[in-house]
Structure 1
Amino acid sequence: MKKSFLNLSVFVIGICLCASCSLLSSAGLTSKGLPSTQVPDKLTSTTANSAVNVDHAIWDELLKKHVKSNGMVDYKDFKNDREKLNKYLEMLSNQEPTKDWSVQEQLAYYINLYNAYTVDLILKNYPVKSIKDIKGAWTNDFVKVGDKTISLGGIENSILRKMKEPRIHFAINCASMSCPKLMNEAYTAAHINEQLDKAAIEFINSDKNDISKNSAKLSSIFDWYKKDFTENGTVIDYVNKFSNTKINSGVRITYKDYDWNLNEIK
């Protein structure tokens, strides 16, 4: 009994010390029955294989207007388009995914759903210095999909990660400086594979990682979600798929501190 209690204590302390999107959003959360299809080894971009093609034009317009090419967000100006954002969120709510949706449509839908509701969360609590200052940011069920409500953590951990596509970690944005940038275009089934490649290439080759042939100081994302990146090799193998500079095998990886300050245009 004492040993079990000690192990539990160590586990809880570990979670508290590693305050990441992954750990904050995973405990006790489910998909709420929403479907997720595993991504094939070779994902292609297409709209031709789905029962539904979701129109993300409103979100695309909002992103182009309020998000800079570097991913920084003008939340003050975004607030002026609250009506349009609400219209988009309502549309997403009315488009509950089914198993008849293609994997491309599911990926685009869930990524845009996560990102749009993250922006919505920030706007509801604005001004705020960090998303971590918002209680239950990843665990509260406030994302409406059909007659269900799900949390951001549920979307991330119980849907998107179950699709076995590690590039989603570079596409979803948690409104923080160290996060992969919020792309200023909506994800769509017609371009999903190219968009995920772009997100991975831009993030891995950005200042979020310090990479050379003989050293690798990587984003903590590669630590928190290590399991996702090592299905078919090592973390270095995965990074080298997208990195301009190839890291030598066997190099010791260290991880950068995570900056949770809001990704806001000042």
Structure 2
Amino acid sequence: MKKLFLSFAILISGACMFASCNLISSAGLNSKGLPTPDASEQSSTDNSEQIVDHSIWDELLKKHVKENGLVDYKGFKNDREKLDKYLKMLSSKNPSEDWGANELLAYYINLYNAYTVDLILRNYPVKSIKDIDSPWTEEFVKVGDTEISLGGIENSVLRKMNEPRIHFAINCASISCPKLMNWAYTADKIDKQLDQATKEFINSDKNEITANSAKLSSIFDWYKKDYTESGMSIIEYVNQYSNTKINSGTKTTYKDYNWNLNDTK
């Protein structure tokens, strides 16, 4: 019995280390019925009409997010009323398949990022998002009559849309995360915006890439399935966006993740 308990403890510990007790292991997998069309099959008419106006969020990001992605949370607190207005507007929407994949991608990404900022502000000052109780499993994000968690938005909604670049667009308020861009995602620009976010992240110091070495962000480890589902290897996926091409067969390792808050101070 003692051996069985020890084996179980080791198994749990190993699982926690493998996922770094991160978004994957802590997120509830329930889409709550929100639409998740395949983004790779988006139609040419997806961009014909803007359903959700993200201009308030765009204004706030330009004002309070630095070019390097660090966030002025104190500044955001001073604009709390405007942020609350945007969150209320997002939550009043009832997304449907009729929106199209581009509009839904922009909506969900902005929803995730804006409510993450909201979560930090409600607990500020804080050293890390991981110091907050259940940051990715508490269902505090409202979408119409639905309540969903940040983890649910990421793992059960966005990841189901078959668009791996979303991992470089959503921001978990930490130093090692892809940076929070200082503009809002919109349906008419979403493809170019996702490409820009992906290229900036892969070619940033979050990865250490040479022709014969690939020390990558742990994001590529945690979400490996998303990048290799089409038959590509991790290296092949990275090489699509990397300024430095990694030689085939190069061993891939992963960097430790810095969960400290991405604060300007």
- 2:35 match: 35
C-alpha separation in 2, matches of 1:2 and 1:79: 52
Residue type at the aligned position of 1:16: C
Q: CA RMSD in A?
A: 2.1
- The alignment-based identity, stated in percent, is 67
- The 1-side partners of 2:21 and 2:65 are apart by 27
Which residue number corresponds to residue 22 of structure 1? 24
Q: 2:223 aligns with which of 201, 213, 225?
A: 225
Determine if contact 2:42/2:101 at 8 Å carries over to the other structure: no
Superposed displacement of residue 91, structure 1: 0.3
Instruction: Report the equivalent of 1:182.
Output: 180
Paired with 1:2 and 1:161, the residues of 2 have a C-alpha distance of 40
Take 1:176 and 1:7, find their aligned partners in 2: how far apart are those partners?
Answer: 33
- Structure 2 match to 1:255: 254
Instruction: Give the drift of 1:45.
Output: 9.0
CA contact (8 A) 1:71 1:183 kept: yes
Aligned residue in 2 for 1:65: 63
Matches within 5 A, 1:202-213: 202-213=200-211
- Where does residue 77 of structure 1 map in the other structure? 75
Q: Within 5 Å, which residues of 2 pair with 1:1-266?
A: 9-17=9-17, 18-25=20-27, 28-40=28-40, 46-48=46-48, 53-232=51-230, 233-266=232-265
- Provide, for residues 174-223 of structure 1, a one-character-per-residue CA deviation record: whole Å limited to 9, x for no partner: 00000000000000001000000000000000000000000000000000
Q: TM-score, normalised by structure 2?
A: 0.93
Q: Classify the secondary structure of the residue corresponding to 1:155.
A: helix
* TM-score in terms of structure 1 length: 0.93
Partner letter of residue 37 of structure 1?
P
Deviation at 1:101, TM superposition (A): 1.1
Counterparts of 1:81 and 1:45 in 2: how far apart (Å)? 35
Displacement of 1:169 in angstroms is: 0.3
Q: C-alpha offsets along residues 220-264 of structure 1, whole Å, 9 cap, x if unaligned?
A: 000000000101210000000000000001100010000000000
After the TM superposition, list the runs of 4 or more consecutive aligned residues in structure 1 that deviate by more than 3 angstroms.
1-11, 41-46
Partner of 2:39, secondary structure, is coil
What residue ranges of structure 1 are gaps of 5+ in the alignment? Answer: none
Q: In structure 2, what is the Cα distance between the partners aligned to 1:43 and 1:228?
A: 22
Q: Any conservation in 2 of the 1:35–1:97 contact (CA below 8 Å)?
A: yes
Answer yes or no: is the 8 Å Cα contact 1:208–1:219 preserved in 2. Answer: yes
2:215 is paired with a residue of what secondary structure? strand
Q: Distance in 2 between matches of 1:11 and 1:144?
A: 35
Q: Which amino acid aligns with 1:159?
A: V
CA positional deviation for 1:99: 1.5
Distance apart, 1:14 and its partner CA: 2.7
Aligned-residue offset at 1:96: 1.6
Please tell me the residue identity of whatever aligns with 1:199. Answer: A
Q: Secondary structure at the match of 1:254?
A: strand
**Residues 76, 249 of structure 1: alpha-carbon distance in 2 compared, 3 angstrom cutoff:** same
Q: Which whole-Å CA distance do the structure 1 matches of 2:186 and 2:3 have between them?
A: 50
> What is the rounded CA distance, in whole Å, between the counterparts of 1:43 and 1:250 in structure 2?
36
Q: Distance in 2 between matches of 1:180 and 1:41?
A: 25
1:138 aligned partner, one-letter code: W
Change (3 A) 1:211 1:86: same
C-alpha spacing 1:217/1:60, structure 2 compared with 1 (3 Å): same
